[in-house]
Amino acid sequence: MQKVILFDLDGTLIDSTEAILESFRVAFKKFGKSAPSKEVILPQIGHPLFDMFVNLGVPEEEAQKYVDAYKENYRKIHTKKTKLLPKAKEAVELAYNSGAKLGVVTTKTGKYSIELLEHFGLMDYFKVLIGSEDVKRHKPHPEPIDKALNRMGVSKSDDIVMIGDTCMDMLAAKRAGIGAVAVPFIYTPIEELKVCSIVVKECIFEAVSYILDNKL
């Protein structure tokens, strides 16, 4: 049976917290407001940008201009102020060398996601990347996962697992009818992650190793 592994991006393979927080500060400042604290912003990461700004108090009719200001800054700094998480590259290489088919499913803009993975020399390992602009409904809806699997040409009869760091990842996997493994990061409290996850591993490398050795 074919192993298929789908990876979330932020908090799973990469840490772009510095770039994200800076871009929020720039966007709020542009419109004469102070950005919410780091502690308020971090739990929102994983949602689409538009929703994040609305959840942070920006009126819906104004949110798009905040998104545009955010992206204007983010595209200037994203490669400089993002880093791979520990053993992320080794985890992707392990999965790829095992013969598994790999994909990325993220609510991050696909363009920037691809640029970051190319920057870190990882994009060639993935058969598909589904970003925010590729779907109408985002995680925790299963549409991004279903679209990735469709583009990869795999069926639900394969051994498919999603790896992510938020309950949205876990719920999307459940709704799509596939397995899931959680890896903790600062965006979701570990206590919350344990409630919404059946399997939690300490890091991405352990998660991949577990998936390769088990059927979920």
How many CA atoms lie within 13 Å of 7's alpha carbon, on the beta-carbon side?
33
**Residue type at position 154:** V
Q: What pLDDT does 215 receive?
A: 84
- Parallel, antiparallel, or unpaired: how do β-strands 101-105 and 128-130 relate? parallel
CATH number corresponding to 3-15+82-213 = 3.40.50.1000
Q: What pLDDT does 79 receive?
A: 97
pLDDT in tens, 48-82: 999 999 999 999 999 999 999 999 999 999 999 99
Q: What pLDDT does 199 receive?
A: 96
Phi, psi of 39 (to 5 degrees): -65, -25
Please name the residue that has the structure tokens 């400042």. Answer: 29
pLDDT in tens, 79-113: 999 999 999 999 999 999 999 999 999 999 999 99
Give Cα separations from 151 to 10, 70, 167, 196 (angstroms): 22, 30, 24, 28
- The neighbour count for residue 95, using CB atoms within 10 Å, is 25
Q: Is the pLDDT of residue 216 over 90?
A: no
pLDDT in tens, 105-153: 999 999 999 999 999 999 999 999 999 999 999 999 999 999 999 999 9
Domain positions in the chain: 3-15+82-213, 17-77
Q: What pLDDT does 206 receive?
A: 97
Fold classified for 17-77: DNA polymerase; domain 1 (1.10.150)
- Which among 185, 195, 150 has a CA at the least distance from the CA of 165? 185
Q: Is the pLDDT of residue 1 over 80?
A: no
Q: Is the pLDDT of residue 189 over 90?
A: no
Structure tokens of 56?
């942070």
Cross-strand bridge partners of residue 103: 6, 128
Q: Is the pLDDT of residue 210 over 80?
A: yes
The mean pLDDT value of the chain amounts to 96
DSSP state of 134: G
| pTM for this model (two decimals) | 0.94
Q: Is the pLDDT of residue 23 over 80?
A: yes
Decide if 183 contacts 12 (C-beta within 8 A).
Answer: yes
